[in-house]
A and B are shown apart, each in its own frame.
Chain A
């Protein structure tokens, strides 16, 4: 699937992704109309389903607000490719079915370019150049494969604590 890139810099915080004044809303569609408001105003107007976000270090730092990944889900984003992610955002993204992909030279990927993400080959290809993507940690793949934490949890009768420790 061909997608278009929206490029951002380092330390893009969750206030930038969705400003605090919209946290009263929970609907991804409503939140998406305010995504990156004041930071990149063309995003909400022009983003198309399947577009991909490219960013530098520490994407999603700050608040635990799940409204941030939800706003991006509402905008039709499926992948975020960044050099690194803030911890809570990373996990929230996986939980809501948004895939955060670590790419150590993401900043070399151009803005507004046509790209293709190949999860099997673990690479993103833009304008003829390929960039390697790090594997998603195993325990999170279970959630990714289920389509997010909600469908994953729905199937669970209960959980066994502290068993099956894995690295």
Chain B
């Protein structure tokens, strides 16, 4: 077995992770990328359907699920975490603390971080999933867990990453490992270039419509084909982020030069090469041609209720939210800003813009995007989950309609159960904010 050492500037990236390269590169036939990741981390061939106690290369907790995970860790008899360098701890859902209860949760987690020697990113870095990737805390071939369902986003970096609950996380904090049922994989292959002002969010909404809200339950989705192999990292993040909206355990884009360049820029010099064999056994193969894809909108109250924007164009919106771990990156904000130009938002619509992280905020500031949003009439908030959390701020009253670049439109997700949430791309959100109603961004 050859040890591939990983080194870099950030804390966790200094930890060596041993990969069994022969298993990564596929000396056994017909394996999916996910089977190879589990095989290489376990040191022997593991197939879909098997249950393994696999080592965990990174574990993320935030202010909502962290307190329970920590309590469970102690209740399990835990005293010292398995490896403080492999734990990512931060606050993003209720920041700055929006209640005394939230503040107490933060205090509890800060003390845990201090006592255990875990680096605490606290409230200032941004949304957990963006921060994990930006800090180089997830990379190709690794197994990462997070106490948040959108942890599957790290598949954009070629990791097997999945969301778990707080009790499983308590177990991980103690033992550094977890039972996994190695999932079967659905291959989602996309080809063709996007039309102007159509992008990854529209694609993933259309894939969710095709696969369905539970069509990938217990499975992984491998995003492949020329559309994905040419897609920049921010778009891969958007797509992998929403794998959970089809019930998937993980979403993954096979790592390539785009991945390695991103990892390099984040201080993690990983070149772990891994991909599915041509004869891999997939649970299903889906193909998508994107060149004819119009902008998509998911209507209330399920993510798989996506449709072409013209079917709902003209629907009045009270609030537009541009942000979240799904679509709060610099490129997303730049796309929205390009659509609005120097115009003003409609007076009857509230517009909330939240960059996904401090880094994305700074890039947006330096590019003049924030000034453009503020001048257009938006409320720009500091990096956090914002209205997507449905508890901190930006809540909806009964009867109100929100158009959001986030990932879930469940009833009550952003406030009242009598409110409605529609999901769309940053371009569609920006175009709609200009007119106060759902609008095709290609027409503004």
Contacts and interface: CB of A to CB of B under 8 A. Distances in A.
A162 B54 contact: yes
Interface of B: 41-44, 46, 49-55, 64-65, 67-68, 71-72, 75-77, 93-94, 99, 101-102, 105, 147-149, 151, 163-168, 170-171, 174-175, 177, 179, 181, 213-214, 217-218, 244, 247, 249, 302, 389-391, 395, 408, 410-413, 416-418
A66 B390 contact: no
Interface string A1-26: 00000000001010110011111111
Nearest to A26: B68
Interface stretch (A46-54, A108-116, A120-128, A151-159): A151-159
A82 B25 CA distance: 40
A148 interface: yes
Given A58-B247, A161-B54, A167-B49, A20 B214 contact: no
A96 interface: yes
A interface secondary structure, majority: loop
A156 B171 CA distance: 10
A104 interface: no
Interface residues on A, range: 35 or more
A73 to B, nearest CB: 12
Contact of B174 (A19, A23, A38, A153): A153
A88 B149 contact: yes
A62 interface: yes
Nearest to B183: A87
Nearest to A58: B214
B410 A153 contact: no
Interface of A: 11, 13, 15-16, 19-26, 37-39, 57-58, 61-67, 69-70, 84, 86-88, 91-92, 95-96, 137, 139, 148-150, 153-154, 156, 158-167
Contacts of B65: 64-66
Nearest to B218: A87
Contact of A24 (B105, B170, B408, B411): B105
Contact of A11 (B49, B213, B389, B416): B213
A139 B179 contact: yes
A22 B93 CA distance: 12
